[in-house]
Structure 1
Amino acid sequence: MENREDKLTWWQTLKSVGAAFFGVQSSTNHQQDFSKGKPIQFILVGLFAVVLFVMGLVLAVALIMPS
């Protein structure tokens, strides 16, 4: 059975995806992600981040452009 410290939590995954999204991921965190993270966590959190980003862009354009 895997030790709890051997896996990334969802919060750690969210922080890691956020840092990678903006290009400020440290080398240490990058190595930890590959050694302790599950791909499905990064895929789900990444998709969620992209959806939020696109929704934010749509909202910004809708607020700026006159109707």
Structure 2
Amino acid sequence: MDNTKSGLWDVVKSVAASVFGVQSSANRERDFKQQSFIPFVVVGVIFFIILIVSLILIVSVIIPD
């Protein structure tokens, strides 16, 4: 494999797979060969924020004020 950049969809899939613990060894190796880790960090932070906001919304619907 070469050292080219992953597309946005590849980064999103890699972050989602790693969050759920189902990242394949080949994809993990491909991710570590990337030139920069910043896209993975940005997508990971966005994923985390979406997760927290969705949990807050679910709890606020289940437990009304």
> How large is the Cα RMSD of the aligned pairs?
1.6
CA distance in 2, matches of 1:51, 1:15: 17
Quick check: which one's helix share is greater? 1
CA distance in 2, matches of 1:34, 1:21: 16
Unaligned runs of 5+ in 2: none
Q: CA deviation at 1:6?
A: 1.4
CA distance in 1, matches of 2:26, 2:7: 17
Q: CA deviation at 1:37?
A: 5.3
Letter aligned with residue 46 of structure 2: F
TM-score (norm 2): 0.89
Residue 6 of structure 2 corresponds to residue 24 of structure 1: no
Runs (4 or more) in structure 1 with deviation over 6 Å come to: none
- Identity value in percent: 38
CA distance in 2, matches of 1:56, 1:35: 32
SS across alignment from 2:23? coil
Letter aligned with residue 23 of structure 2: Q
TM-score (norm 1): 0.87
Letter aligned with residue 27 of structure 1: S
Q: CA deviation at 1:66?
A: 2.1
